Structure 1
């Protein structure tokens, strides 16, 4: 399998450092504030430290994680404006990765851009979070992504294994419905936290989640020992994704999958049987016509 430029970006973003008290997540947080005019720059450094502690030191899952089992992830926050003191308008890139069996390759699981990342934060502010209550927008957003990262990871190791964490993410969405912050409702966008969580618990999307298990366990995790069988199983998983897309066209879960896996899929299917490669190309360009040129690399060799 060929390493992609996205994989290099992921390794840069995620880093290898962890926290001594880490639970399930090994999350590196970066806050970019070059567009904010402020003499009090230390609050931005504090955000990085406190947001990372919030994600890494809190126990999100029921199971006990060993140090080497923590999920590598990254949250890159770009502060775009500060309408008032302590109030920030931002965007964020959320990334997570999963190790592939018998290799040094980390597969990107989530590569998601959130443009509704508005929040309030002041220096030394406590970050309070309750799974069943809206406490603040920043902790709700961070908690939402913690659950989604864990759910995606679990789904890749066990069929529908992330169910309870998707349900926890949906509870966070439900808690925030009346908050007035953007990104939590179904009306203003078809690509936001509401719809990602809704897709995750929608029974129509279950074959998509099953495909993620087959893609990783029967596909990627087999590539080192049997690349031909691994590619065949990944193609079978893509056919499930295609069927889901026919039932629910342009669902955010499908689009997010392609955002995370595009470079990986090009790398996997730039080798092997040409008939299989052509079939994969046709599936992918139908799923995401805007990326036809990138998927065309599958047929170049």
Structure 2
């Protein structure tokens, strides 16, 4: 009885620790195996089950904000080859957060994976796990940007270190492009600040501070204007606006001004119909 009692207590402690560590509490992975030979199909389906645990059971950073980031990963392997003792897959790869306002796509994601290979966290560069590490830090950095202005910089540095070492590894494929994507996003200062002030507006709504909401909207619009002065079709910013246009319209209708509504329509004409329908006072 004592053994059972202590075993149960131990399992509860492990569960609670995992809950604390779960910065990625839910990771959904789908690997389409239709184009693969029979043996590879079975192995890839095993990998499909391993990847969520790789994300969920690891402390990626000191999570003082209690951040939780559900992820969705879709992989579409199209070719497989053998190189020495390694089996190398070439796949399309898509990873998004739950809202899909941050997403990364690779047309030719090459990774080595053999039957029963464990997925282990390591400082050594591996074509699969290091890529997963890189994207984990990209999503954490993007999330931290919504808590503090440019708050993700330190985590972007972790992703940069992986990508830099990846370029000089035995399998450098894909790392140059990943580093380019990182540099692009981190350099989009006004996109990142517009995101921050959008979420700051929502935080102020939750705290019952309507005047602060209006100020946050002004700041968001200011940084969107600066972003689009540089590049009117900046992809990441438009993805963010496409996902959140309805909420932006509702926030402006309830807490903002007609001038702010006119401004967001001017900046984001792709979603003009949404802003006019939901952002107008009735």
Deviation per CA, 1:50-94: give whole Å up to 9, x if none. 2112212222103467xxx35232132222312325322222332
Residue 151 of structure 1 is matched in structure 2 by 141
Partner of 1:278: 262
* Cα distance change of structure 1 residues 73 and 31 upon mapping to structure 2, 3 Å threshold: same
- 1:288 counterpart residue number: none
User: Displacement, 1:229?
Assistant: 5.6
Could you tell me which residue of structure 2 aligns to residue 214 of structure 1?
197
| Shift in CA distance, 111/31, structure 1 to aligned 2, threshold 3 Å | same
- Aligned-pair distance for 1:246? 3.2
TM-aligned CA deviation for residue 280 of structure 1: 0.2
TM superposition shift of 1:182 = 4.1
Which structure's CA Rg is the greater one?
Answer: 2
Contact 1:91 1:115 in 2 (8 A): yes
Q: Tell me the TM-score normalized by structure 1.
A: 0.70
2:174: which partner in 1? 183
Cα offset, 1:112, TM superposition: 3.3
Q: Judge which range, 161-170 or 232-241, deviates more.
A: 232-241
- Residue in 2 aligned with 1:101? none
Residue 79 of structure 1 is aligned with which of 67, 76, 81?
A: 76
Question: Corresponding residue for 1:112?
Answer: 104
Question: Which of 180, 202, 210 is the aligned partner of 1:195?
Answer: 180
Q: 1:265 aligns with which of 245, 261, 265?
A: 245
Which 10-residue stretch deviates more, 33-42 or 224-233? 224-233
Q: Which residue of 2 aligns with 1:297?
A: 274
Q: Name the CA shift for 1:120/1:110 in 2 (closer, same or farther; >3 Å).
A: same
Residues 4-23 of structure 1, C-alpha deviations (whole Å, 9 max, x = no match) = xxxxxxxxxxxxxx997352
Q: What is the DSSP-based 3-state SS (H/G/I as helix, E as strand, rest coil) of the residue aligned with 1:72? A: coil
Asked if the contact 1:266–1:295 (Cα under 8 Å) also holds between the matched residues in 2, the reply is no
- Counterpart CA distance in 2 for 1:209 and 1:280 is 17
Match of 2:213 among 212, 220, 230: 230
Alignment partners' CA distance in 2, 1:193 and 1:242: 27
Number of residue equivalences: 251
Residues 183-227 of structure 1, C-alpha deviations (whole Å, 9 max, x = no match):
322xxxxxx52222113444xx3344333322212x122345467
Change (3 A) 1:214 1:300: closer
1:166 maps to which residue? Answer: 156
- The answer (yes or no) to whether the contact 1:79–1:88 under 8 Å persists in 2 is no
Q: Which residue of 1 aligns with 2:18?
A: 21
Q: Which residue of 1 aligns with 2:223?
A: 240
CA contact (8 A) 1:235 1:280 kept: no
Matched residue of 1:21: which SS? helix
* Alpha-carbon distance between aligned partners in 1 of 2:77 and 2:49, rounded to the nearest angstrom: 20
Aligned to 1:102: none
- In 2: Cα distance, 1:296 partner to 1:232 partner: 24
* Offset, 1:166: 0.6
CA RMSD of aligned residues (A): 3.1
